[in-house]
Amino acid sequence: MLILFLIGTNIAVAQEKFSYNQNGLTPVYLINKVDSLSQTELFEKSLEWVKKNYKNPNEVIKATILNKMIRIEGLTPKWICIESLGTTFCSDALYTIEFEFKEGRYKFEVFSLTFVSQNGNYKVNLSNGKDYYRKNGKLKQFTKDTPQAISDLFNRLNEELNNYILGKDKSDKDW
């Protein structure tokens, strides 16, 4: 029974993802286990990932504590597009995330998300998603794609970082 519990626990941890709903973003952070790497190796691999995936990594990196933490402010252009009255309006996603490192694991924590568009900026309330839902719990028509887009953004970033750390990054094709 102990073996089945441990296997079930590992599967549950591996399958945990971000979700955005009426209650906001849950969980607030994810813990990713990488038993084969030390705290220092996780820090270095994460820093490499930032440098490889962002056009101006020195501007993206907002804070570091050697081998313990990296905080970044990234931008995903044309992150979400909405069609209205025959016109497509797109917003970029400006987000702040932080990675903390311990032996064999790292924490991926989301701090903020802002829609950036030609009409101005809108900061998303990560602890409450009621802006996107009606009182009956159904999604509002104009923002029906937003909660899923929020979940997808952070799940994609977490997965890309995790794949890079694990050596599963497909962008380094043999040329």
DSSP assignment of 50-103 equals: HHHH-SSHHHHEEEEETTTEEEEEEEEEEEEEEEETTEEEEEEEEEEEEEEEET
Rounded CA-CA distance 48/57 in Å is 10
Cβ atoms 120, 128 nearer than 8 A: no
75: confidence class by pLDDT, cuts 50, 70, 90: very high
What are the tens digits of pLDDT across the range 105-130?
999 999 999 999 888 899 999 999 99
pLDDT of amino acid 85: 83
Q: Is the pLDDT of residue 87 over 70?
A: yes
| H helices present in the chain, as ranges | 2-15, 39-53, 57-60, 146-165
Beta-carbon count within 10 A of 4 CB: 8
Rounded CA-CA distance 49/21 in Å is 29
pLDDT higher at 168 or 71: 71
What are the tens digits of pLDDT across the range 137-171?
899 988 889 999 999 999 999 999 999 999 987 66
pLDDT of amino acid 5: 43
Predicted TM-score (pTM) of the model is: 0.86
* Residue 98 one-letter amino acid: E
172: confidence class by pLDDT, cuts 50, 70, 90: low
Closest CA to 130 of 116, 146, 109: 146
Helix (H, G, I), strand (E, B) or coil at 39: helix
pLDDT of amino acid 12: 40
| Cα torsion 143, 149, 150, 151: sign | positive
**Residue 165 backbone phi and psi in degrees, to 5:** -60, -40
Cβ atoms 174, 42 nearer than 8 A: no
